[in-house]
Amino acid sequence: MKMNSKVVCALMIAITILSQLTYAQARFVKNLEGHWKFQKGNISDAHQVDFNDRNWETVTVPHDWAIYGPFNKDVDKQTVAIFQNGEKVATEKTGRTGALPHIGTAWYRKTFSVPEFEKDKKAILLFEGVMSEPEVFLNGHKIGEWKYGYGYFYFDISDKILDGKNILAVKASNKAFASRWYPGAGIYRKVSLIVKNRESIDQWGTFIETPYISEKEAKVTIKTKVTGDQIKLVTTIFDAKGSKVNSNSTTEHFGNEFEQNIKIEHPNLWSPTSPYLYTAVSQVFVDNQLKDEQSTRFGVRSIKFDSKTGFSLNGKVTKFKGVCLHHDLGPLGAAINKAALKRQLTILKDMGCNAIRSSHNMPSLEQLELCDEMGFMFLAESFDEWAKPKVKNGYNRFFEAYAEKDVVNLVQATRNHPCIVMWSSGNEVPDQAGSEGVKRAKYLQDIFHREDPTRPVTVGMDQVKSVMESGFGSILDVPGLNYRVHLYEEAYEKFPQGFILGSETASTISSRGIYKFPVVQGKMTQHDDLQCSSYDLESCNWSNVPDEDFVLQDDKPWVIGEFVWTGFDYLGEPTPYDKKWPSRSSYFGISDLAGLPKDRYYLYRSRWNTTSETLHVLPHWNWNGREGKITPVFVYTNYNSAELFINGKSMGIQKKNTSTPQNRYRLMWMDVKYEPGTLKIVAYDDDGNQKAVKEIITAEKPYRLVLSPDRKTIKADGKDISYVEVSVLDKKGNPCPTATNQLKFKVKGDGIFRAACNGDATSLEMFHKPTMKLFSGKLVVLVQSTKRSGDISLTVTGNGLKPARTQIKTENLTLE
């Protein structure tokens, strides 16, 4: 069951009614998002209360100060041999971390008020992510620091907060040689102030498990850590409609932990196809007076990993059809935006994806909330480094002092999300080799088990031979292999678990709408234009094309699924062009940096989306100068056969077969000679009946623009975004797939131009400027709401093109 925003809002209102006006008195949560003062530079006294920040820039948090550029090849230039890529000799890498100016120190200052703050209250300051090494000051006093840019952390500021005005200052510092990809810069995730009574639920102190599930009933076990004496804890469970299901009241506790068992009759189970969510409302009473109240969403679901069936969800064997995602949101940088995250997941859902791996970082809480709601299983990852470095100033500097604290915070903050079915303690860590690495793997796995006994732990392993010999792979709950498809059989025989997870697969590289000839499979192939062919046959030295993974997934029951590298292109790691300039973002994505699907998207969709028809043809059919030359045609479809026609002449029927991995999953006409006109595909079912038809027509000169918003109505909250796809048609209405016109964007009304992106990994145009070139005939414009309801008008123009305009409504969230 999907919960739309109105249902969620209704549920929250129903929960609030429980405690009437006393809820506001019990707990106050304030999102510290607006009116931050920001300045880049190492300013020694910026934490002082009387510091003059009047001339600083005013920003909203979450905020990424580096995404505004400009791109510069000298930013974080690294001379390095990338060990996990098999490199032996150090070479200069210019775009490895995105070529955006993320290195340096910056300060944030925020004035906020807490009216009538009383000394019997408790105040918590919660940060969900600061890049990086933040130092936090309140009213001129340092209250703490953290090291990991992806970690969540909080401080008890009860003895530092003032009744009335307070000055919060945050220093964030990014060092050179500290990342392998674009990390972002600044307070890129949410900051919250939580004010509550001393007698209250501890931060992240609630842990919900569902240890017994049947069709008739589910046992919900809720462990709650509470501070205070003479406490009665009342927990009430509500269903997705806000109706009361059951409740429990207790005064029994051991130490500071209460444990309650509550029955749900005829439970609705959470799964990717039916992501049903319940809400537990926990209330703390002292002498019948409400002291604290907290709502926790959860799902009723069971997970099981075993040697006989692999992975089962709710008793049903399930394969992971997953993708890896970096944390950046393309033109928005690292700054979290829920609309952007939801768009990503919506695109992936249509592809048939059912799982996400956060790579290689702790996920945002917003991402987990959406995966709960939309139905994605989640592999929550923690680290890209342990004690041995990949980069000079990486997490290796903090591992010994911070690893346990970071894992504890990750698990405690997120373990109630039903989407999470696995933890990952690391990715391709150099510690895989040697006995010390085995000890570290067990050390981290033990912490995960201590904090959450219900989920297994994996590591993405690329040194497969080493982990077979050392025992590293054998101690893990779930052995995860990154690539190395030729070693799957041997690993299965040697590891005791009885199954293998493709924790990172494919790393196929392509550029949307770009095709190279001749059409051959290649490793680390480079072209003069610094693009990769979208025939989906190019990969890296260590990786492979998708079909090789498909064979393992389909033929080996002990392979429990895969997480493809990656769902979307991301900033940084422009393999295979990380030694070339300009190239500043990845080519790995199934969709490009703008979120526009590449051809490969439909190859995965043809296997993963089992409920919708897929019929996709490539390449485009605009090849002036290739007349008479061999121009192969590929079709990605869920049908097993199809017939190709060029200008009405049949090129024959192709059927999927097992002669090669490509022939098994693609229909390919390798000897087609290009002639302009109409390319037509007719797909047939297994009985030879015509089921679907697709045509591509050679376009004439670009004539007019077309705008297609992903949503015509957005929330008037100052955060929501409509993604408007811009494309070009000729006079006859045919798409122009090679158009590269320079466009301009103008937004009027109750919204702003937020950014634009064309998906070109070599483009040095800045995302926030209201002009950009089309890439392969398309780009995307991001239109963001203000806090006023009304209308937004976007107009797009380009020289020689008929302009286009679209209207977007903004509305305040109301209940019907």
Establish whether 504 is a catalytic residue: yes
Beta bridge partners of 191: 127
DSSP state of 463: -
What does the alpha-carbon distance between residue 651 and residue 486 come to, in Å, rounded to a whole number? 36
Place of tokens 């009574």: 197
CA dihedral 394, 333, 482, 475 (to 10 degrees): 60
Q: Kindly state the tokens that stand for 688.
A: 């030879």
DSSP state of 487: G
Q: What do you get for the CA distance between the two ends of the chain, in Å?
A: 20
Q: For 52, what's the count of Cα atoms within 13 Å in the CB-facing half-sphere?
A: 1
Q: Kindly state the tokens that stand for 330.
A: 């393309």
Active-site option among 504, 573, 675, 765: 504
Closest Cα partner for 310 from 475, 500, 449, 505? 500
What does the alpha-carbon distance between residue 64 and residue 185 come to, in Å, rounded to a whole number? 5
Q: How many beta carbons lie within 10 A of that of residue 686, not counting itself?
A: 10
How would DSSP label each residue in 532-552? --TTS-EE-TT---HHHHHHH
Q: How many beta carbons lie within 10 A of that of residue 647, not counting itself?
A: 11
Q: How many beta carbons lie within 10 A of that of residue 26, not counting itself?
A: 21
Ordered alpha helix ranges (H), 179-277: none
Q: Is the peptide bond before 661 cis (omega within 30 degrees of 0)?
A: no
Closest Cα partner for 27 from 260, 245, 202? 202
Closest Cα partner for 599 from 677, 521, 685, 508? 508
DSSP state of 591: B
HEC per residue, 3-37:
CCHHHHHHHHHHHHHCCCCHHHHHEEEEECCCCEE
**Cα 220 from chain centre:** 29
What does the alpha-carbon distance between residue 689 and residue 709 come to, in Å, rounded to a whole number? 36
Q: For 30, what's the count of Cα atoms within 13 Å in the CB-facing half-sphere?
A: 14
- What share of residues in the chain are helix, strand, coil (percent, to 5)? 15, 40, 45
Active-site option among 133, 373, 428, 643: 428
Please name the residues in contact with 338: beta carbons below 8 A apart, sequence gap of 6 or more: 366, 370, 719
Q: Which residues of 326-340 are buried (b: 16+ CB within 10 A; e: fewer)?
A: bbbbbbbbbbbbbbb
What does the alpha-carbon distance between residue 670 and residue 651 come to, in Å, rounded to a whole number? 10
Closest Cα partner for 568 from 353, 271, 361? 353
Closest Cα partner for 349 from 295, 296, 272, 276? 272
Place of tokens 């955060």: 719
Q: For 641, what's the count of Cα atoms within 13 Å in the CB-facing half-sphere?
A: 13
151, 168 contact by CB (below 8 A): no
In one letter, which amino acid is 29? Answer: V
CA dihedral 237, 243, 246, 251 (to 10 degrees): 50
What does the alpha-carbon distance between residue 122 and residue 142 come to, in Å, rounded to a whole number? 18
Q: Kindly state the tokens that stand for 610.
A: 């089992």
774, 726 contact by CB (below 8 A): yes
Q: Is 624 exposed, middle or buried (0-12, 13-18, 19+ CB in 10 A)?
A: exposed
3-state secondary structure of 354: coil
Active site residues: 428, 504
